[in-house]
Structure 1
């Protein structure tokens, strides 16, 4: 009984509390990673390095000879293949750590932020689950943003979106929750890594009418 009373008091406090305004840049904390410098290569050299990566997994003598030939050709052009691929691997590891760095200070907080919702699950004409992201165009015919710039948004009450990506204000409790799921989008299923989950208490249009939506961009503090 005491626990029930405590839970009711918590939910009551949340419903009357002022939400904490959160910027997208705050959701991507600085990891203090060292900058990895990639070798300066031409487009042709990039294509040759890509062939090296593909051929490295092949076992036939002909492919091994081709690999040696490409490696020698790049060496003549001043490109150390082993060093270039090692730098590429290190760069990708650093970028992944940056993308998946989450900010625990918002965990469990009642927050408010704006963004674009991409519906992923419907109940009738209303969407109940979304991806919430800081800018339009993400995840549609292009790779998703970094994980710390993708929020898995749940709203059982449902919200009717006017188009595939729709600008909104959202209020709710946010949690740090790094997960990768196959998400159904308009152009098919794709794996998306989400850094946060947010149970929305309220979703509202960013603009009051469609005229504003057509003539005004959504402003964010997110820095590219």
Structure 2
């Protein structure tokens, strides 16, 4: 009998633990990545302008643009600067930062979480009742500005619907989270934007922030 009771208590304790809701901070959704190391010499304003000119002209294939690139490249070489070497380093730096922005963690996959944020409505079931929205850490993110990193955007599904007062007012969202990196064109407020989201969340409760 004692063994039966002990087994029951153990199972009950595990069940309570398994359904425990974890309160997350947005920083919890940013996985640790290696810092992007880039060492460049100090450049004068003129040298920076030259590099920008080479970057712009390299998009064209006209005889004039090629001739100008050679002239600028030669001028930079006199200063000991290899234009294309530095532009290649710049591209690698941008790519590394992009990878870091799109990195997500699966540490909380399948867990019930609670997180505060600001919602950006995508779909409505009634006037100002949103059933599908983005949750972001900063008010107005994704609206008339570049979106936050993917690991700072959660795509939320809430069939019950949440009555929105204003997108400037924070909310608490509770539900099951899953890491799910995806890019798509979304209609946000008054236009379509290409947004990459890092997580999806099946919400069971959305309430005003207190």
Band of TM-score, shorter chain: 0.7 to 0.9
Indicate how the Cα distance of structure 1 residues 153 and 48 shifts in structure 2: closer, same or farther if over 3 A, else same: farther
2:102 to 100, 103, 110: 100
Is the Cα–Cα contact under 8 Å of residues 117 and 168 in structure 1 kept in the other structure?
Answer: yes
Q: Which runs of 5+ in 2 are unaligned?
A: 1-14
Is the Cα–Cα contact under 8 Å of residues 131 and 158 in structure 2 kept in the other structure?
Answer: yes
Pick which of 37-46 and 87-96 moved more.
37-46
Give the Cα separation in 2 of the matches to 1:76 and 1:200: 61
Pick which of 27-36 and 143-152 moved more.
27-36
Give the Cα separation in 1 of the matches to 2:47 and 2:148: 28
Give the Cα separation in 2 of the matches to 1:142 and 1:119: 16
Indicate how the Cα distance of structure 1 residues 201 and 41 shifts in structure 2: closer, same or farther if over 3 A, else same: farther
How many pairs does the alignment contain? 194
- The Cα of 1:74 is off from its aligned counterpart by 3.4
Q: Which runs of 5+ in 1 are unaligned?
A: 1-12, 208-224
Is the Cα–Cα contact under 8 Å of residues 147 and 178 in structure 1 kept in the other structure?
Answer: yes
The residue number in structure 1 matching 2:39 is 37
Is the Cα–Cα contact under 8 Å of residues 52 and 67 in structure 1 kept in the other structure?
Answer: yes
The residue number in structure 2 matching 1:91 is 93
Is the Cα–Cα contact under 8 Å of residues 116 and 171 in structure 2 kept in the other structure?
Answer: yes
Rg larger in structure = 2
SS, match of residue 147 in structure 2 = coil
2:120 to 115, 118, 121: 118
- The Cα of 1:38 is off from its aligned counterpart by 4.6
1:191 aligns with 2:194: yes
Indicate how the Cα distance of structure 1 residues 45 and 141 shifts in structure 2: closer, same or farther if over 3 A, else same: farther
Give the Cα separation in 2 of the matches to 1:40 and 1:204: 51
CA displacement 1:164-202 (0-9 Å, x = unmatched):
343110100000100001111124111110010001100
List structure 1 runs of 4+ shifted beyond 3 angstroms.
37-48, 73-79
2:135 to 132, 137, 141: 132
Indicate how the Cα distance of structure 1 residues 44 and 182 shifts in structure 2: closer, same or farther if over 3 A, else same: farther
TM-score, structure 2 as length reference = 0.83
RMSD value over aligned CA atoms?
2.2
The residue number in structure 2 matching 1:217 is none
1:151 to 150, 154, 158: 154
Indicate how the Cα distance of structure 1 residues 40 and 139 shifts in structure 2: closer, same or farther if over 3 A, else same: farther
